[in-house]
Chain A
Amino acid sequence: MSWFTTPFGLLGLLAVPAVVALHLFRRRHQDHAVSSLFLWEDTETAETAGPRRQPLRRTPSFWLEVMAALLAGLWLGGMDPLGSSKAVHMVVILDDTASMAAKDKPGASLEEKTPHGRALKRLDSLFSKHGRRLRTTLVKSGQRPSVLAGPGALTPDAKQALKAWQPESPSHSLGPALTLARELAAGGEILVFTDQELSPAADDLRVISVGQAIDNFALAEVRRSRTSNETSDMIQVAVRGYSDQPGSTSVKFVAAEKTILERKIQALKDGERSLIEFEVPARLGAIEISLAADALEIDNHAVLHPLPDRRVKVLFALDGKAHRELGLAGAEATFGGMRRVSSAADADLVVAHQAASPPAWNLVMPKEEDELEAFAGPFAFERRHPLMSGLTLEGVIWTRSGTFGAPGSPLISAGDRTLLSEQKQAGSTNWFLNLLPGRSTLQRSPDWPIFFTNLLELRRSRLEGPQSVNLVAGEAFVYRADESAHWTLTGKGKEKSFRAQGDLRLESLAPFGFWKLSRDGNFVTSFAVNFVDPAESDLRNRGSLVQSPGPGRAALAESRYAESSFGKILLLLLLMMIAADWWVLGRRAA
Chain B
Amino acid sequence: MSEVVRASTEQDADPRVLGQAWRLIQETKPPQGQAGRNLGRASGSSLEFQDFRDYQMGDDLRHVDWRAYARTDQLTVRLYHEELATTLELVIDGSASMDLTSAKAQAWRSLATFLHAAAAGEFSVKALQAGETTQPIQADVFQNSKLPGVHPAGALSLVDAPREGMLRHGSFRVVLSDFLFPHDPASLVAQWGRGAGRLVFIQVLDEGESQPQARGLLRLQEIETGKWRDLPVDEMMAKRYQQRLHRLQLSLEEELRRKNGLWISVNTQSTLEDWAHGPLHESGLIAPR
Contact = CB atoms under 8 A, between A and B. Distances in A.
Contact of A29 (B217, B224, B227, B248): B217
B100 A32 contact: no
A164 interface: no
Given A35-B180, A36-B97, A29 B222 contact: no
B3 interface: no
Given A30-B217, A34-B100, 12 more contacts: A28-B217, A32-B221, A34-B209, A34-B221, A35-B223, A35-B224, A36-B224, A37-B228, A41-B229, A43-B231, A43-B240, A44-B237
B35 interface: no
B164 interface: no
Interface in B165-210: 178, 180-182, 209
B216 interface: yes
A38 B181 contact: yes
A36 B181 contact: yes
A33 B230 CA distance: 12
B215 interface: yes
Interface string A368-389: 0000000000000000000000
B21 to A, nearest CB: 31
16 contacts: A27-B230, A29-B219, A29-B230, A30-B216, A30-B217, A31-B221, A32-B220, A34-B100, A35-B209, A35-B223, A37-B227, A39-B241, A39-B244, A40-B231, A41-B229, A43-B231
B250 interface: no
Most buried by B among A32, A36, A38, A40: A36
> Chain B interface mostly helix, strand, loop or mixed?
mixed
B178 A35 contact: yes
A47 interface: yes
Contact of A30 (B100, B178, B218): B218
A30 B182 CA distance: 25
A466 B241 CA distance: 94
Contacts of B36: none
A122 B78 CA distance: 114
Interface size class of A (residues with CB under 8 A): 10 to 19
A30 B227 contact: no
B245 interface: yes
Nearest to A589: B228
Nearest to B241: A39
Interface of A: 27-41, 43-45, 47
A45 B241 CA distance: 13
A29 B240 CA distance: 20
B219 A34 contact: no
A288 to B, nearest CB: 75
A35 B219 contact: no
B204 to A, nearest CB: 11
Interface in B215-262: 215-224, 227-232, 236-237, 240-241, 244-245, 248
A83 to B, nearest CB: 47
A37 B230 CA distance: 11
A38 to B, nearest CB: 5
Contacts of A45: 231-232
Please give me the 10 A-B residue pairs with the lowest Cβ-Cβ distance, nearest first.
A35-B97, A29-B219, A35-B180, A36-B180, A32-B218, A29-B217, A29-B230, A38-B182, A33-B223, A39-B244
B217 A33 contact: no
A30 B215 contact: yes
B245 to A, nearest CB: 6
Nearest to A47: B232
B160 to A, nearest CB: 14
A40 B182 contact: no
Contacts of B232: 45, 47
A47 B218 CA distance: 13
A518 B241 CA distance: 83
Nearest to A34: B220
A40 B178 contact: no
Nearest to A30: B218
Contacts, number: 75
A50 to B, nearest CB: 13
A38 B225 CA distance: 12
A29 B229 CA distance: 10
B5 to A, nearest CB: 35
Contact of A33 (B100, B215, B231): B100
Contacts of A38: 180-182
A33 to B, nearest CB: 5
Contacts of A33: 100, 220-223
A27 B217 CA distance: 8
Contacts of A37: 220, 222, 227-229
A44 B241 CA distance: 11
Interface in B52-108: 97, 100
A30 B219 contact: yes
A43 B237 contact: yes
A27 B222 CA distance: 20
Contacts of B217: 27-30
Contacts of B97: 35-36
Contacts of A29: 217-219, 230
A31 B229 contact: no
Nearest to A588: B219
A27 B218 CA distance: 10
B95 to A, nearest CB: 8
A37 B228 CA distance: 8
Nearest to B219: A29
Contacts of B178: 35
Nearest to A46: B232
B214 to A, nearest CB: 12
A44 to B, nearest CB: 7
Contacts of B245: 39
Contacts of A27: 217, 230
A31 B219 contact: yes
B157 to A, nearest CB: 8
A34 B240 CA distance: 16
Given A31-B219, A35-B100, A40 B181 contact: no
B244 A34 contact: no
Contacts of A35: 97, 100, 178, 180-181, 209, 222-224
Contacts of B230: 27, 29
A67 to B, nearest CB: 25
A544 B248 CA distance: 92
A41 B180 CA distance: 13
B188 to A, nearest CB: 14
Contacts of A34: 100, 209, 220-223
A40 B223 contact: no
Contact of B241 (A28, A31, A32, A40): A40
A36 B220 CA distance: 9
B210 to A, nearest CB: 11
A53 to B, nearest CB: 14
Contacts of A32: 215, 218-221
A39 B241 CA distance: 6
B190 to A, nearest CB: 20
Given A32-B220, A33-B223, A34-B223, A39 B180 contact: yes
A55 to B, nearest CB: 11
A28 to B, nearest CB: 6
Given A43-B231, A45-B231, A36 B218 contact: no
